[in-house]
């Protein structure tokens, strides 16, 4: 079948800020790089301000613009609803789209509460029976290095886990004069570093290990409790965490450590992790996302050591479609890969990954972390419930 005869797949995106720009780049590019079973078409983007959403549509390459997400969901030329709005609107949009028979891609964290996440996962479960796919946007799984790390774990090269440690360090709140944006207010953002950064590292730890967290103990802090209001003049109160640390146990008994902070001076986007197992170890830093460190503990000790694998070979995940060995990919490629995997799941009818059920499970961990932090580090189990 010639490419021009491909079935098309109409995408409708809600939201067009940072995440919207990244998703647009993903949708525009994916069919130009990968050989796909369906051809994504950027049908329409949705936002409340008519002029702004029209300009965004032009800039990012969307054919049309809508100002009400319900209209977007209802469009005949939209088969996938891609949700890039803040967390408090995820549940309503996603559930409506799923009930309308549309596939859904939803940015992380899945929701601002376990209740919302449960409703979403429940809707996804029902929709799945109708052949509808729902995926949550934990895009860092789609760096080739992380996907390759997962493959190495599956191949048994790490062995029984002993330790998982993973930190996500940023520094944009170090300056106490940084203003009090909506991201620092609980009513809009849900939480601070925990939901924004912590969701990523909880998902990555569970994805890489293939295990879930069974309990956590957390401490959190807001170092700068008052910040200038964006308009200037007076100051307001920060109502989310600047940083959160938690320890935990995986199902296998491995010990885990997590840290999410916006107060680590000099760390811009440093998602660093290390896994130690009985047969080997893996290490990674998102600031060097084309590299994976691997120690093979089965080698003779004299010539063993952490090796720096440049994850840019054709037989690394996703790399068959890109450039020759040694040519770096960047942050936005994760969104191209996410788009590819979603299209493949839709075309083949296979289960999406990470699913809304995965997103719900992460939400349960985050809720346990919040509860533990409120109770001064008391060990808090993570419920292992089915999707309702």
Contact positions with a second copy (CB under 8 A) in 74-113: none
Position 154 contacts a second copy (CB under 8 A): no
329 close to 322: Cβ distance less than 8 angstroms: yes
Whose Cβ is closer to a second copy: residue 106's or residue 275's?
A: 275
**CA-CA distance, 310 to 328, in Å (whole number)?**
9
134-137/161-169 β-pairing: unpaired
Q: Which of 140, 294, 318, 356 binds a second copy (CB under 8 A)?
A: 294
Closest of 53, 40, 47, 44 to residue 3, by C-alpha: 40
Minimum CB–partner distance for residue 315 and a second copy (Å): 5
CA angle 131, 135, 140 (to 5 degrees): 150
Site for a second copy in 185-224 (CB under 8 A): 217-219, 221, 223
Minimum CB–partner distance for residue 269 and a second copy (Å): 3
Position 1 contacts a second copy (CB under 8 A): no
Position 255 contacts a second copy (CB under 8 A): yes
245 close to 195: Cβ distance less than 8 angstroms: no
H-type alpha helices, 129-210: 144-154, 186-189, 193, 199-209
**CA-CA distance, 10 to 205, in Å (whole number)?**
33
Position 257 contacts a second copy (CB under 8 A): yes
Position 308 contacts a second copy (CB under 8 A): yes
Site size for a second copy (CB under 8 A): 99
Closest of 285, 87, 275 to residue 169, by C-alpha: 285
Site for a second copy in 233-252 (CB under 8 A): 242-243, 245-249
Whose Cβ is closer to a second copy: residue 127's or residue 193's?
A: 193
* β-strand partners of 11: 42, 80
Position 69 contacts a second copy (CB under 8 A): no
Site for a second copy in 272-291 (CB under 8 A): 274, 276-281, 286-291
HEC profile of 23-80? HHHHHHHHHHHCCCCEEEEEEEEECCCHHHHHHHHHHHCCCEEECCHHHHHHCCCCCE
What does DSSP assign to residue 118?
Answer: H
Position 13 contacts a second copy (CB under 8 A): no
Position 18 contacts a second copy (CB under 8 A): yes
Minimum CB–partner distance for residue 240 and a second copy (Å): 15
Whose Cβ is closer to a second copy: residue 239's or residue 270's?
A: 270
Minimum CB–partner distance for residue 42 and a second copy (Å): 11
CA angle 49, 17, 94 (to 5 degrees): 85
Q: Which of 310, 347, 353, 371 binds a second copy (CB under 8 A)?
A: 310
Minimum CB–partner distance for residue 321 and a second copy (Å): 10
């Amino acid at each position: 079948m010639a490419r021009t005869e491909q079935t098309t797949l109409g995408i409708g995106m809600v939201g067009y800020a940072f995440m919207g720009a990244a998703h647009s780049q993903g949708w525009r590019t994916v069919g130009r790089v990968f050989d796909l079973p369906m051809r994504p078409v950027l049908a329409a983007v949705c936002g409340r301000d008519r002029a702004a959403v029209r300009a965004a549509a032009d800039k990012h390459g969307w054919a049309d613009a809508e100002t009400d997400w319900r209209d977007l969901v209802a469009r005949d030329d939209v088969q996938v609803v891609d949700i890039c709005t803040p967390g408090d609107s995820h549940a309503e949009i996603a559930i409506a789209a799923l009930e309308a028979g549309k596939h859904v891609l939803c940015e992380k964290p899945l929701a601002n509460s376990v209740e919302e996440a449960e409703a979403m996962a429940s809707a996804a479960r029902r929709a799945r029976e109708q052949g509808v796919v729902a995926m949550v946007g934990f895009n860092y799984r789609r760096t080739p290095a992380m996907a390759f790390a997962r493959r190495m774990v599956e191949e048994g090269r790490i062995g029984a886990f002993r330790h998982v440690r993973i930190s996500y360090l940023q520094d944009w709140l170090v300056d106490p004069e940084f203003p009090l944006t909506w991201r620092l207010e609980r009513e809009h953002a849900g939480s601070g570093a925990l939901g924004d950064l912590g969701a990523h590292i909880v998902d990555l730890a569970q994805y890489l290990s293939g295990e879930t967290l069974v309990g956590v103990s957390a401490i959190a802090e807001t170092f700068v409790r008052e910040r200038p209001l964006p308009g200037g003049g007076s100051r307001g109160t920060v109502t989310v965490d600047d940083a959160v640390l938690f320890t935990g146990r995986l199902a296998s008994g491995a010990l885990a450590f997590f840290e999410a902070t916006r107060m680590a001076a000099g760390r811009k986007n440093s998602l660093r992790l290390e896994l130690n197992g009985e047969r080997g170890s893996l290490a990674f830093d998102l600031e060097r996302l084309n590299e994976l460190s691997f120690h093979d503990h089965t080698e003779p000790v004299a010539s063993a050591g952490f090796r720096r694998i440049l994850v840019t070979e054709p037989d690394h995940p996703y790399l068959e479609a890109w450039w020759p060995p040694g040519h770096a990919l960047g942050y936005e490629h994760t969104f191209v890969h996410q788009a590819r995997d979603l299209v493949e799941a839709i075309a083949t009818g296979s289960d999406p990954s990470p699913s809304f059920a995965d997103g719900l499970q992460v939400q349960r961990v985050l809720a346990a972390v919040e509860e533990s932090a409120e109770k001064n580090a008391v060990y808090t189990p993570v419920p292992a419930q089915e999707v309702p």
